Amino acid sequence: MARTAGSHSEITGPRVLQAALTLFARHGFAAVSMRQIAAEVGVQAGALYNYTPDKQTLLFDLMRTHMEGLLEAWEAEKSDGDATERLRRFTRFHITYHLERPDEVFISYMELRNLTPENFREIEALRRKYETELEKILRDGLAEGVFNVPDPRVVTMAVIAMVTGVTTWYRTAGRLSVEAVQDIYWQMVQRAVSA
Amino acid sequence: MARTAGSHSEITGPRVLQAALTLFARHGFAAVSMRQIAAEVGVQAGALYNYTPDKQTLLFDLMRTHMEGLLEAWEAEKSDGDATERLRRFTRFHITYHLERPDEVFISYMELRNLTPENFREIEALRRKYETELEKILRDGLAEGVFNVPDPRVVTMAVIAMVTGVTTWYRTAGRLSVEAVQDIYWQMVQRAVSA
């Protein structure tokens, strides 16, 4: 029998993840109990185990969903073209995507220490896959002769740290639009890697 | 009467801070109890209150000590000279200083949420003071005509995020020396801001 749209688990599953995200971001993974997550969702603590076996799985699901969403969104956004145009797209995309998800970004960096070794390896592989997208653009630009990057791997890490850092200081109500911030960062990224 | 060198509080104070730093970095501030900190130091839980009134004060002391140490070390390191030379010094200094203190860097970014509003303001003021050191170099380079930075405040945040990011990926046993990493980052920073 087909599942009814809006069935219990379809509605509650995302709400459980959202509650876990909010609480982990506010208090830290180790300080949050399954009981608190249940209270935030508005279900009994026991009912939570219909949706997830444990807190570790919730953390892992949050990080995996974030990284898979990032990779999918980039697949949809990226284009062919020369390395400079691809780098411009990457820079702008990365800023927008991360600015819209401050809690996910915070969790993804800060709670790596709380993943089991196996889960950590899986998240690291997804992160590495995303980083490799940028590294490939840098290597292609090097081959085209338009970039001068002494060490594409290190430059990849530097560019990602720089653009992700926007999430730590940008405020929607501040003096700059997202577009203005993207322009400033793109100018810096382009000059930092150009031949 | 002069205090005896190596007296109880002189030895235990730093040990309490070190234990708190280690435990906060490993588990997160909210998940660590004063009892755990006491156990890490090797004293009774009650004895801890001879050194600190509460856990919030420990967190604040750790962050304040870190920021004040950073500002003092930069005062000792910085030099006169043209803006390019000062920026080069800042970049190399920032990388070395932060690479040597991964736990302090981690705590300083991730536990801001757990400071009381008053303590948060004080830490933010110290951080702002440090950022202003870089912003001033950028503004001076702009005045000298050697830099082209569309927005010195935003470029300051971008450069600091980029160079601090080294702490997330650099491994002492890896393929690159600290000096090699400094060279790569300095090349990127210089080109990103040069006229």
Domains and CATH numbers, chain B: 1-52 (1.10.10.60), 54-193 (1.10.357.10)
Q: What is the per-residue DSSP string for B44-85?
A: -GGGGGGT-S-HHHHHHHHHHHHHHHHHHHHHHH---S-HHH
Distance from CA of A106 to the nearest CA of B (A): 8
* Residue A7 in contact with partner chain B when CB distance is under 8 A: no
Contact status, residue B14 vs residue B59, Cβ threshold 8 Å:
no
Q: Do B155 and A188 make contact, defined as CB atoms within 8 angstroms?
A: yes
Q: Does A192 touch chain B (CB under 8 A)?
A: yes
Closest C-alpha to A44, from A75, A12, A78: A12
pLDDT tens for A112-168 read 999 999 999 999 999 999 999 999 999 999 999 999 998 999 999 999 999 999 999
pLDDT of B80: 87
Q: Which residue has the tokens 């736990």?
A: B103
Q: What average pLDDT does chain B have? A: 92
- Identity of residue B52: T
* CB-side neighbour CA atoms (13 Å) of A43: 19
Examine the pLDDT at B190 and tell me if it is beyond 60.
yes
Out of B31, B168, B184, the one facing A154 most closely (by C-beta) is B184
Rounded to whole angstroms, the Cα distance separating A99 from A110 reads 17
Closest CA of chain A from B110, distance in Å: 7
Q: Is B175 on the interface with A (CB under 8 A)?
A: no
Q: Cα–Cα distances in Å, from A82 out to A78, B91, B188?
A: 12, 31, 21
What pLDDT is attached to residue A9? 55
Q: Among A39-48, B49-58, B182-191, which range has the highest average pLDDT?
A: B182-191
Q: Report the alpha-carbon distance of residue A115 to residue B171 in Å, rounded.
A: 20
* Closest chain B residue by Cα to residue A193: B188
SS3 letters for A123-170? HHHHHHHHHHHHHHHHHHHHHHCCECCCCHHHHHHHHHHHHHCHHHHC
| Minimum mean pLDDT range among A10-14, A82-86, B138-142, B149-153 | A10-14
CB contact under 8 A, A150 and B187: yes
Q: Which pLDDT belongs to residue A10? A: 59
pLDDT in tens, B25-53: 999 999 999 999 999 999 998 889 988 99
Residues of B whose CB is below 8 A from A151: 176, 184
Q: What is the pLDDT of residues B122-167, one digit of tens each?
A: 999 999 999 999 999 999 999 999 999 989 999 999 999 999 999 9
Of A20, A56, A18, A14, give the one whose Cα is nearest residue A35.
Answer: A20
Chain A residue with CA closest to B186: the answer is: A192
Q: Do A30 and B27 touch (CB under 8 A)?
A: yes
Q: What pLDDT does B6 receive? A: 46
Query: What distance in Å separates residue B155's CA from the closest CA in chain A?
Result: 8
